[in-house]
Homo-oligomer: A and B are copies of this chain.
Amino acid sequence: MPGKPDVSDDAEDRSGISADRRTFMGTVGAITGASALGGTALADDGDEKTEVGGEGSRTGGDAQNAILVIPDGAGQAHISGARYLKAYQEDSEAFPENVTPDGTTLNVDRADRIGGMSTQPDEPELLITDSGAAGTAMATGTKGYNGVIGGIGSEDDYTPVGTVLEAAHEAGMATGLVTTTRITHATPAAFATHVPDRGMEDEIARQYVENGNVDVLLGSGKRHFDPEERDDGEDMLARAEEQGYHVVETEAELADADDGKLLGLFGSESDRSAHMSYYVDREYVDDTDEPGLVEMTEKAIEVLSDCENGFFLMVESGRVDHQGHSHDNTITHEQLECDEAFGTVLDYAEDDDTPETFAMQVADHETGGMSLGWDAYDMDWAAIDEIRASLEHLDYAIEEAGYDRGATVDVVEAHTGLELTEGEIIDIVGGDLTNVLNKRTQMGWSSDSHTGEEVPSYASGPGAEHFGQYFDNTDVSVGIADALGLEFEPGREIDYEIRN
């Protein structure tokens, strides 16, 4: 069906990676390189809390903390698109004259250095990366194949390698992973788990819980922790609590959580993708109980900054990628939310009362071949601002309406502010909503997949000097480790056992 949303779980299949493939790799055994349990202490309200951070002690580098923000799939057009949308929303009368540094600034404009990052994987037959190989390169300092998580080699000959997050934990730092996708999805997983195939999400969940070396885990994907949904029937929710995690499932529970180890699994399990909602759906369509990326980022910093050894945090705006695959104009809203989360990060990093903090925003790759312009010298930003439901939501609503003409028109007009023409209605009922919306807005897309060009990076604080020119994606963990003064050997093979 043309026009259907093409979220990455499906889209990734084009790279030859099966989403539900399971590979038996060894027997259950001890996980090395991580302390399984943190200490305990009393929280302000007298409840027991689990202290964040590892057992090591650290002399430290120029930076006490490091925070990496990854808008998955965001190239230059995504950043510029967020800028146009912000300028339009802040002052539509002054638009587009206010799309200048004097008129409208993004938080990325606060960064000390702009750079450009390579994205290609170590992949004999494919030049363009998936998020597994990209996350692995950024986390481990060495390139892996498409579909890999935290390792090198091939699916049949996989070797796990250590990550910068693990090095931070071993040095006694607190660590965190935040995402709007399932927490078991490729990008966060690559920083703290090791499997030969990104589809092994039950095992990724198990490793998070058993290793216990990520103090704050916030995202969705409860299905991979829930005994009723896991293939092996194990209860990783109960096990997480045994490991000292406080498990929260709503925005309110997150807000109320005491400091200490935290596992957040948000989003409705009835949702087809089991990711968190897109920004526009969360803000304008559904009365969800999910937190936003900014709230998750704030909470993670609040919890992790308790650790006197400093912290490492990765924050992913993970669904920018999905909207690149599906050619959804509301990607600009999603990217703008990511920029606000980066602003939260910079607010912390630039505060005179906080320790020196390295902060960077950089994508893992571009998705969609997105451009601001299609076949005219103009775009309609009023329309882009008014489209306040994701393509996924609209397509499902149209499907649920059985492609009934009247119901379809009602759904689309209610959520987009558009008055549809007869030709557009015929196209939408025929299943081509995507093209109708992009023709209106003149957003351009060259690809259904990822693309291979460099992605822009924005770095601040001690260590930013590593990221002011062209750099390789494997340089990310090396530069962060250097800024933090961590012992870190890129591509260090580790002794690690993996269940099937």
**Residues of A at under 8 Å CB distance from B?**
14-15, 75-77, 79-81, 83-84, 96-97, 99-102, 105-106, 108-109, 111, 113-116, 118, 120, 122, 125-130, 146, 366, 369-379, 381, 444-456, 468-472, 474-475
Contact = CB atoms under 8 A, between A and B. Distances in A.
Nearest to A455: B76
B97 A122 contact: yes
Nearest to A371: B369
Nearest to A109: B470
A450 B377 contact: yes
A96 to B, nearest CB: 5
A118 B84 CA distance: 11
A101 B109 CA distance: 25
A459 to B, nearest CB: 11
B449 A446 contact: no
A366 B377 contact: no
A154 to B, nearest CB: 16
A258 to B, nearest CB: 39
Contacts of A472: 100-102
Contact of A14 (B79, B122, B377, B474): B377
A128 B369 contact: no
A471 B378 CA distance: 21
A335 to B, nearest CB: 12
24 contacts: A96-B120, A96-B127, A99-B118, A99-B120, A100-B474, A101-B472, A109-B469, A113-B468, A114-B468, A126-B378, A127-B372, A127-B377, A127-B378, A128-B372, A128-B378, A129-B377, A146-B377, A369-B371, A369-B444, A371-B447, A371-B453, A373-B446, A444-B446, A446-B446
B376 A14 contact: yes
A106 B470 contact: yes
A77 B447 CA distance: 13
Q: State the oligomeric state as a number of copies.
A: 2
Nearest to A102: B472
Contacts of A445: 369, 446
Contacts of A111: 469
Given A106-B470, A128-B379, A449 B100 contact: no
> How would you classify the secondary structure of chain A's contact residues: helix, strand, loop or mixed?
loop
A153 to B, nearest CB: 15
A177 B475 CA distance: 39
B375 A116 contact: no
A130 B376 CA distance: 11
B452 A379 contact: yes
Contacts of A125: 378
A470 B102 CA distance: 10
A475 B102 CA distance: 11
Given A96-B120, A369-B371, A446-B370, A127 B469 contact: no
Contacts of A448: 375
Given A126-B378, A378-B128, A453 B115 contact: no
Given A369-B446, A444-B451, A116 B456 contact: yes
A299 B438 CA distance: 47
Q: Which of A79, A376, A475 has the most CB of B within 10 A?
A: A376
Nearest to A128: B377
Contacts of A128: 372-373, 376-379
Q: Which of A76, A146, A373, A444 has the most CB of B within 10 A?
A: A373
Contact of A116 (B97, B114, B381, B474): B114
A106 B454 CA distance: 13
B372 A470 contact: no
A371 B377 contact: no
A-B residue pairs, 7 tightest by C-beta: A369-B371, A444-B446, A372-B452, A373-B451, A80-B453, A446-B446, A371-B451
A117 B116 CA distance: 14
Q: Which of A81, A115, A116, A129 has the most CB of B within 10 A?
A: A116
Q: Which of A80, A97, A450, A453 has the most CB of B within 10 A?
A: A453
